[in-house]
């Protein structure tokens, strides 16, 4: 059988635990942990948890984005940016001065690059 990826474990975990609570939930979790141990995947627990988080968020309609900006963003602007991506947005902001200005937003499988650095590079390309 092919190797299962951490994502497949995460999806499985989400699907079994979705509608459970209380004693049944802890029983299911116990079973899951036994499975992971039996398949020698304990090393990948970190990854499975990470994948589980992002999968659960996606299922519940939460959008995760990473914002890179040159300077600290104020809350009003941040809210405006987050509003573009939907209602339930979780944003992680990092400050990186090397992009000079503007912002760079990373969603799940896309990068929206509005940084000044990229614009200048493009201008350079268009002139030379």
Partner 1 sequence: MSINSIVEELKKNISAFEKQVEVEEVGTVLEVGDGIARLSGLSKCQANEMLEFPGGTFGVALNLEEETVGAVLLGEFKHIKEGDTVKRTGRILSVPVGDQMIGRVVNPLGQFIDGGAETKAKQFYPIEKIAPGVMSRQPVSQPVQTGIKAIDAMIPIGRGQRELIIGDRQTGKTAIAIDAIINQKGQDMICVYVAIGQKESKVARIVAKLKESGAMDYTIVVVAGASAPAALSYIAPYSGVAMAEYFMDQGKDVLCVYDDLSKQAWAYREISLLLRRPPGREAYPGDVFYLHSRLLERACRRNKEAGGGSITALPIIETQASDVTAYIPTNVISITDGQIFLETDLFFRGIRPALNVGISVSRVGGAAQTKPMKKVAGKLKLAMAQFRELEAFSQFSSDLDPETRKQIDLGQRLVEVLKQPQFKPMAVANQVAIIYAVQNGFANHVAPKEMVTWEGKFHDFMNKSKSAVLEKITAGTWDETVETELKEAITEFNKI
Enumerate residues 7-36 that contact partner 1 by CB under 8 A: 7-8
Angle at 74 between CA 80 and CA 101, to 5 degrees: 90
Tokens 């947005």 found at: 89
Provide the mask over 86-125, with x wherever binding to partner 1 is found by CB under 8 A and - wherever it is not: --------------------x-xxxxxxx---xx--xx--
C-alpha distance from residue 89 to each of 50, 100, 120 (Å): 17, 25, 30
Stretch that binds partner 1, among 2-10, 17-25, 36-44, 89-97 (CB under 8 A): 2-10
Given 5, 26, 42, 79, the residue binding partner 1 (CB under 8 A): 5
Alpha helices in 18-108 (DSSP H): 22-38, 45-59, 75-84
Q: Within 13 Å and on the Cβ side, how many CA atoms surround 18?
A: 11
Give the shortest CB-79-to-partner 1 separation in angstroms.
19
Judged by the rule CB under 8 A, the positions of this chain that interact with partner 1 are 5, 7-8, 106, 108-114, 118-119, 122-123, 126-127
């Amino acid at each position: 059988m092919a190797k299962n990826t951490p994502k497949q474990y995460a999806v499985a975990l989400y699907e079994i635990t979705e509608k459970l609570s209380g004693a049944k939930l802890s029983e299911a979790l116990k079973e899951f942990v036994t499975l992971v141990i039996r398949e020698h995947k304990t090393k990948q627990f970190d990854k499975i948890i990470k994948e589980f988080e992002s999968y659960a968020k996606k299922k519940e309609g939460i959008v995760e984005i990473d914002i890179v900006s040159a300077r600290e963003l104020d809350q009003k602007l941040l809210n405006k940016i987050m509003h573009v991506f939907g209602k339930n947005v979780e944003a992680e902001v990092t400050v990186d001065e090397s992009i000079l200005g503007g912002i760079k937003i990373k969603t799940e499988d896309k990068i929206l690059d509005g940084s000044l650095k990229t614009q200048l590079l493009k201008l350079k390309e268009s002139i030379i």
